[in-house]
A and B are shown apart, each in its own frame.
Chain A
Amino acid sequence: GEDVEQSLFLSVREGDSSVINCTYTDSSSTYLYWYKQEPGAGLQLLTYIFSNMDMKQDQRLTVLLNKKDKHLSLRIADTQTGDSAIYFCAEGYTGTASKLTFGTGTRLQVTL
């Protein structure tokens, strides 16, 4: 089966960079996603990366993908208190209606 693992908790100071890590086991995934969930809310798509890419940068967000090690990371530059949330990585596959497999989620706490 597919397992997607994340560390449970990360605490950073405001202004520092945050790095959230994700490991997965299914090498056939086509896309890898990062979603943000604030308390009591749905999931907000932050960014995604195609599996043949190594890196993608989008404003404060940088995604790194090491396909050999099946390791995905999300770096948030200049972390703000509004970034406090739970972050989920997810695997997706070819086909517009393919289901996603979610990671266990990482709670990011930003302190002053």
Chain B
Amino acid sequence: GAVVSQHPSRVICKSGTSVKIECRSLDFQATTMFWYRQFPKQSLMLMATSNEGSKATYEQGVEKDKFLINHASLTLSTLTVTSAHPEDSSFYICSAPPQIAVGNEQFFGPGTRLTVL
């Protein structure tokens, strides 16, 4: 299957700092990418849809000024957690559907574990 990478895999930061997470599609182009967060022992919650060349679409309850999304190219989307606080600690996962996918499947990155002290 297609490969999606995320960087970094793990980050620990102090409260009040900003953290950038990258999501890359390595062997295909993706005009759309999705950002999820997952709390321990819970399912994935969609945060936003990242669109190449236009603004991201945020799910209800997700602060767009807190979670900045930039879809810079057809293979890269970034999520910046601004002024991070301990409650932002979570597992952040991105996914990307290839532009041509037989089953409309999405491929997921390995996730980024964010810990805010």
Residues of chain B within 8 A (CB-CB) of A30 are: 104
CB atoms of B44 and A88 under 8 A apart: yes
Other than the given A42-B6, A44-B108, A96-B97, 7 more pairs (CB < 8 A) read A30-B104, A45-B107, A45-B108, A48-B105, A96-B100, A99-B34, A103-B43
Tell me if B's interface is mostly helix, strand, loop or mixed: loop
Task: Note all chain A residues with C-beta closer than 8 A to B78.
Answer: none
A10 at interface by CB-CB < 8 Å: no
What 8 A-B pairs have minimum CB-CB distances, sorted nearest first? Answer: A97-B32, A43-B108, A42-B110, A42-B108, A48-B103, A42-B111, A102-B44, A102-B43
In whole angstroms, how far apart are the Cα atoms of A42 and B37 in the complex? 11
Instruction: Determine if B115 is an interface residue (Cβ-Cβ < 8 Å).
Output: no
Tell me if B49 counts as interface (CB < 8 A to partner A). Answer: yes
Inter-chain contact A99/B49, CB cutoff 8 Å: yes
Interface residue total, chain B, C-beta cutoff 8 A:
28
Give chain B nearest CB distance to A5 CB in angstroms: 10
Chain A contact residues: helix, strand, loop or mixed: loop
B1 within 8 A of A: yes
Contacts of A43 in B (CB 8 A): 44, 93, 95, 108
CB closest residue in chain A, given B112: A42
Which A residues from 53 to 112 make CB contacts under 8 A with B? 88, 92-100, 102-105
Interface residues of B in 1-60 (CB under 8 A from A): 1, 4, 6, 31-32, 34, 42-44, 46, 49
Q: Which of B49-103 contact A (CB under 8 A)?
A: 49, 93, 95, 97-101, 103
Spell out A's residues near B (CB within 8 Å): 30-31, 33, 35, 40-45, 48, 50, 88, 92-100, 102-105
Task: Chain B residues near A93: list those with CB within 8 A.
Answer: 104
Q: Are A92 and B104 in contact (CB under 8 A)?
A: yes
CA distance A45 to B34 in the complex (A): 15
Give Cα A48–Cα B104 distance, bound, in whole angstroms: 9
* Residue numbers in A under 8 Å from B44 (CB-CB): 43, 88, 102
- CB pair B111 A40 closer than 8 Å: yes
Partner of A88, one of B32, B43, B46: B43
Give chain B residues whose Cβ lies under 8 Å from the Cβ of A33: 103, 105
